Amino acid sequence: MPKGAQKEINDVLLSRYACYLIAQNGDPKKEEIAFAQSYFAVQTRRAELIAERLQLQQRLEKREELRASEKRLSQNIPSITTEHVQNNRTVRDMMGQRGIKPEELPPAEDIKKVERRVAKEEKALGESQKLPRKK
Q: How far apart are CA 49 and CA 59, in angstroms?
A: 15
Residues 111-128, mean pLDDT to the nearest whole number: 76
pLDDT of residue 103: 67
Whether 89 is in a domain gets the answer: yes
Closest by CA position to 21, among listed 38, 35, 37, 34:
37
pLDDT of residue 84: 84
* The pLDDT of residue 35 is above 90: yes
Mean pLDDT of the chain: 84
Whether 66 is in a domain gets the answer: yes
pLDDT of residue 6: 87
- Comparing 44-53, 96-105, 109-118, which segment has the lowest mean pLDDT? 96-105
Whether 8 is in a domain gets the answer: no
Whether 32 is in a domain gets the answer: yes
The domain total for the chain is 1
Which residue range forms the structural domain that includes residue 36? 13-98
- Angle of CA points 121, 126, 131, to nearest 5°: 65
Whether 60 is in a domain gets the answer: yes
Q: Is the Cα torsion angle 12, 18, 19, 21 positive or negative in sign?
A: negative
Whether 69 is in a domain gets the answer: yes
